[in-house]
Amino acid sequence: MTRVDDAPIIERMIATFIAEELIGDPGIDIDVEANLISDGSLDSVGVMRLVGHLETTFGVAIPPTDLVPKHFRTIRLMADYLARKGARPRTPPDGGLP
């Protein structure tokens, strides 16, 4: 199970992916409590790209029944969901923080 102290790392990894890959602005600071669906940061295609990234990065399977706003509305909700699924942040090959 993911430790509580992993949550900020998971949140940062999700925020970085969304900023860089989905929004296209690596300098943007995304509030972990921001509603990404209603503010337009995530659309249906973005959610599917994000899910693929989360499954690969954290080694979890996200079933279609879990693709609901209560799990993906905010970065904090995503990190909590991943923690319940037993996700662990991977350490990059250089040994630094993800």
Tell me, yes or no, whether 95 lies in a domain: no
CA atoms within 13 A on the CB side of 44: 1
- Among residues 30, 25, 38, the alpha carbon closest in space to that of 79 is found at 30
pTM: 0.82
User: What pLDDT does 41 receive?
Assistant: 87
Cα–Cα distance for residue pair 65/57, rounded to 1 Å:
20
Burial pattern 13-45, b for ≥16 Cβ within 10 A else e, equals bbbebbbeebbeeeeeebebeeebbeeebbeee
Q: What is the pLDDT of residue 1?
A: 45
Range of the structural domain that residue 8 is part of: 4-84
Number of structural domains (the chain) is: 1
CATH number at residue 71: 1.10.1200.10
Per-residue pLDDT of the chain (98 residues; tens, 9 = 90+): 445 557 788 999 999 999 999 999 999 999 999 999 899 888 889 999 999 999 999 989 999 999 988 999 999 999 999 988 888 766 554 444 44
98 domain-assigned: no
